Copies of this chain bind each other. A is one copy, B any other.
Amino acid sequence: MSPRMGLDLPTILQKAGEIVDEKGLDHLSLGELARRLQIRTPSLYNHIEGLEALRQKLAIHGLHNLHERMVYAAVGRSGDEAVRALSEAYVSFARNHPGLYDATFRAPETDDPELQQAQHKVVELVVQVLQVYGLKDEAALHTVRGFRSILHGFASIELAGGFGLPLDLDKSFLLLIDTFLAGIHSGTSN
């Protein structure tokens, strides 16, 4: 057992990530990917099961990256400071890797445990950071949902170019996070 060594998955995902960040998730095609890898399209099937599987793996790849950056941002901080750091890392990732971010969100419905695991790790990180606010059981879960909504909502509208006005985006985002934090501190969430 030890046949010829060809492409490996990391290389493929790397290139696919480049395509997707350049041209958008919807313009990822096996043809373009193969061209950039200097092979013929059908050869890709030796490594991945098809376009849908590629998107799936790309989503997992993106989630790993996102998680890594969020952990790095949050480490050594707590409370509001940690929340702000986490938030900034999140939108930062979306800005630097718009296609990959999109892939993490628009992953096809599936019960792929690896994908679920990757999603879960990001959620878990948020749960941990919010723990310091001492929210009771259910309230904590609702609050995590709210926080995720804010992060994804802002990031995706920004990426879609949905904020038309020439008004500072970072300011909008910081204010949003602070407004949310103020709401939490006001005790509404208990």
Query: Footprint of B on A, CB under 8 Å?
Result: 105-106, 109, 119, 138-139, 141-143, 145-146, 148-154, 156-157, 160-163, 165, 167, 171-172, 175-176, 178-186, 188-189
Contact = CB atoms under 8 A, between A and B. Distances in A.
Contact of A149 (B143, B157, B167): B157
Nearest to A107: B160
> Copy number in this complex?
2
Given A149-B153, A149-B157, A153-B148, A142 B180 contact: no
A176 B176 CA distance: 12
A179 to B, nearest CB: 3
Contact of A153 (B138, B156, B182, B186): B156
